[in-house]
Structure 1
């Protein structure tokens, strides 16, 4: 049964008086707790009570910030997006950074499982979780699309390139390599992440007929 922050049937706790010190670390603690609880229980077992207990915060503090547990989960996942999608001045380096960032995310025990669970359960519970996860997908895709568009403007990619297909290929190969790698070999995959990313990116760029710009 879904636990909604706005339909718990509990009266909202009274707000504390003016002057109560703001906890600067509350969001970070809550997000970390969300990922831990969600990785352990999945959607069906996820509760705000468990998050509040794990984060050592009151439920009222969570009520004031998030309207539903799906928004809380998605915001927690989105908070793990790093500078992996910032522009580095070269299409190849941009895409290598994306692949390495994706792989690093999967290789973190909690974060990797959380993202995989969320993507699967967004399909299993589309009416509850699908819309919230779409926000996460749009944010990632929009940044990557800007990288592709910039490469087209610079002449590194042909104008008719299918950017989404390129991104799907990069993401799919990265996820497949992670899932196909036995546990004992994950450390080696992490050490060789740059080499793996280069091979994946070069394969996709070759298929997309990318044009390599001269240095400088």
Structure 2
């Protein structure tokens, strides 16, 4: 039998098709929201037949669960450099890049849909929020253990402030500035991180000396 006869026929299986479909699902959601989010739209955006999609996910809810999880895991993962400033800068820079990507806009739209009383979206929104809070809270917990901030500093408002200010920074960018933000994400978030660190260091309930590691960065 010749080599040509031995070669299998039909379209070769794409090993990356699941990742393509997940990204297509998030991009489709970012554009349409829950009301117009369909399996057919996802397949069309990914450039595959619906059968390839249905072989992996039976419903759009199952597809969205896996799609959200693919975003949540990286958002919950943070570096441990031994420095509150460096860890927050890294986390905020990755969050900035997230919001600059269509995938990031999908997570934002999920939050908007959940706020609009679409209760079926609540589990997806909660998973995203948990991931962001988990990662940033872990950074502040490590900083507390190192003595960079006092243990009585309220962490949740700091987490919310950093996420909110990062999102607002992205929203305020002119289209011509977005490429620079992608190239220099750390530089864009450093002023935001500085505000958070100053707030933690000067919290009224902080014990004297508990925030010395933060204060040294401004000396």
Shorter-chain TM band: 0.7 to 0.9
Unpaired segments ≥5 residues, structure 1: 1-20
Name the TM-score, length of structure 1 as normaliser.
Answer: 0.76
Q: CA RMSD in A?
A: 2.7
Once the two structures are superposed, what CA deviation does each residue of 1:45-70 show, in whole Å capped at 9, x if it has no partner? 11012223333555455446446424
Q: Which runs of 5+ in 2 are unaligned?
A: 1-11, 202-210
Q: Assess, with a 3 A threshold, how the Cα gap between structure 1 residues 39 and 59 changes in structure 2: closer, same or farther.
A: same
Which residue is 2:85 aligned to? 92
Q: Which has the higher helix share?
A: 2
Shift of 1:139: 2.2
CA distance in 1, matches of 2:127, 2:57: 15
Output the CA distance in 2 between the equivalents of 1:28 and 1:125: 30
- Correspondences of 1:51-200 after superposition (within 5 Å): 51-57=42-48, 59=50, 62-63=53-54, 65-66=56-57, 68-80=59-71, 82=74, 85-108=78-101, 110-200=102-192
Q: 1:45 aligns with which of 36, 42, 51?
A: 36
Larger radius of gyration: 2
4+ long deviations beyond 6 Å = none
Give the superposition deviation at 1:122. Answer: 1.7
Question: Aligned residue pairs: how many?
Answer: 194
TM-score (norm 2): 0.75
State the distance in 2 between where 1:140 and 1:208 align: 19
